[in-house]
Amino acid sequence: MLTAIDPDRKGNRVWKVTIPPTLEPVSVEELKSFARIDGSGEDNLLASFIESARQKLEDYTGRAFLEQTMVMLMDWWSEKEVYLPKPPLLSVTSIETLDEDGVATTYAAANYFVVTESIPGKIIVKSETSLPLNTVRDYAGYKITYKAGYGTNPNQVPRQIRNSILQLATLRFEKRISDEEIPSEVTKELRHMRVRQRG
């Protein structure tokens, strides 16, 4: 699992995928058709190239492609609006404050709105409601669990993303490498989809 760090002016935030997607945006059969690969002897290798291509392009775009569960930890909560990394946002499962022993207290869902339509998605604490409060822990005292991605069906992922995964997985199969820079011919369809993370 990859962990990202956003050392913005509002306090350090870290986030990671805790439950990865159960499917990939493209199948092995789609990749074999795209790359004109016959036989099934290398299907496991092709599946690994699809997964690594998806992860690399998620990092490039700053997005989640298929539904996955994310957890974000924050050192402090200073404003009414909190943006959540790796859009599109599907839903917020919980907001919790953590004490020094990691014991969680749930912040009531009635205290905030969830805006899934914005990119990135965000939580807005209601105007008449106090912000989540943590007075006994100096770091990572706020925990937000949420789901991100375009949905659970690969066909919900935009075609340009799926095409780019096929291109990158094919290149990795042909070169038998998995961690090179993404070629510009792969990213050209995705440049307009890159998301700048917001505090």
Q: pLDDT tens-digit profile of 57-104?
A: 999 999 999 999 999 999 989 899 999 999 999 999 999 999 999 899
Domain contains 197: no
Domain contains 120: no
Domain contains 68: yes
Tell me the pTM: 0.89
Q: How far apart are CA 147 and CA 156, in angstroms?
A: 15
Domain contains 102: yes
Q: How far apart are CA 2 and CA 55, in angstroms?
A: 9
Q: Read off the tokens for 59.
A: 């990092």
Residue 66: partners with Cβ closer than 8 Å, 6 or more residues away: 21, 22, 23, 24, 25, 149, 150, 151, 152, 154, 156, 157
Domain contains 192: no
Q: How far apart are CA 12 and CA 14, in angstroms?
A: 7
Model confidence over 139-169: pLDDT tens digits? 899 999 999 999 999 999 999 999 999 999 9
Greatest Cα pair distance, the chain, in angstroms, is 63
What is the Cα gyration radius of the chain?
A: 19
Domain span including residue 100:
3-77+91-106+134-187
Number of domains in the chain: 1
Expressed in angstroms, the distance from the first to the final Cα of the chain is 22
Domain contains 17: yes
Bridge partners for 148 per DSSP:
68, 89
Give the per-residue pLDDT at 135.
Answer: 77
Domain contains 44: yes
Domain contains 119: no
Q: How far apart are CA 150 and CA 126, in angstroms?
A: 27
On whether the CB atoms of residues 45 and 175 are closer than 8 A, the answer is no
